[in-house]
Amino acid sequence: MIEITALSSSSKGNCYRVTDGKTPLLLECGISFKQMQKGFQFRISQFAGCLVSHEHGDHCKAIKDVLNAGIDCYMSPGTAGAIGLTHNRIKPVPVKQPFKVGSWSIMPFDVQHDVAEPYGFLLANDAGDKLLFATDTYYIRYRFPGLTHIMVECNYSEKILNENIESGITAPVMKKRLLQSHFSLENVKKFLTANDLSKVQEIWLLHLSESNSDEKIFKEDIMKLTGKVVYIP
């Protein structure tokens, strides 16, 4: 049984807790440490590790405090280099090489974002749960059998983006960056359709844009497509 808690999910900061009842993990630490302490009832020591997808501040803002709290932080060698910290609890992990943290077996995989070496993570445990976490990517090249939980970025809709550009709400230069660095609703639908969702219990749509998304439409579209429970933090 996987339990997911989202403290923050936006360009202002990202931070999630996942646990299988045995090993709690942090996914991202992109908010202030004070916010994390308050959000997790000052029980930061509960976490067996923190997975960091990439070096942007909205994903690793509190990493110094997390490291100093005694929590190992796992990331790609490229992300570790880009963050530029020297600490014995920074754990660079090779792409597509599984590693263990408590009851979790974790497979890091490459995603597509405008940073050094971004990762997504596939988390599995002995109970048969499989959680996919992928944020800040415009495409996922892999297929994942047996997923039970999906946490995936759904940043914008191409339709809403184009309407906002036409009306002057969004600058045209932003379109190219979004198309090459963030997951659109349209591409999320393609990704979900390409995967076997028969065991999926929950789908979490993450990191929605403030101006180029519509929470109600996104939730309804993905629920209609998949027939699954959909959460938007």
- Which residues partner with 45 through β-bridges? none
Which helix (H) or strand (E) segment holds residue 16: the answer is strand 13-19
Instruction: Please name the residues in contact with 159: beta carbons below 8 A apart, sequence gap of 6 or more.
Output: none
Question: pTM for this one?
Answer: 0.95
- Segment 175-185, tens digit of pLDDT: 777 777 789 99
pLDDT of residue 176: 72
Report residue 174 as tokens.
């932003």
Confidence band, pLDDT 50/70/90 cuts, at residue 49: very high
Averaged pLDDT for residues 200-213: 95
Q: Please give the residue that has the higher pLDDT: either 37 or 162.
A: 37
pLDDT of residue 5: 97
pLDDT of residue 160: 92
Residue 203 pLDDT > 90, yes or no? yes
Which helix (H) or strand (E) segment holds residue 4: the answer is strand 3-10
Nearest to 75 by CA among 95, 104, 47: 95
Q: Let me know: does 56 contact 83? Beta carbons within 8 Å.
A: no
- Segment 62-97, tens digit of pLDDT: 999 999 999 999 999 999 999 999 999 999 999 999
Q: Fold for domain 3-228? A: Metallo-beta-lactamase; Chain A (3.60.15)
Report residue 64 as tokens.
């110094």
CA distance 190 to 192: 6
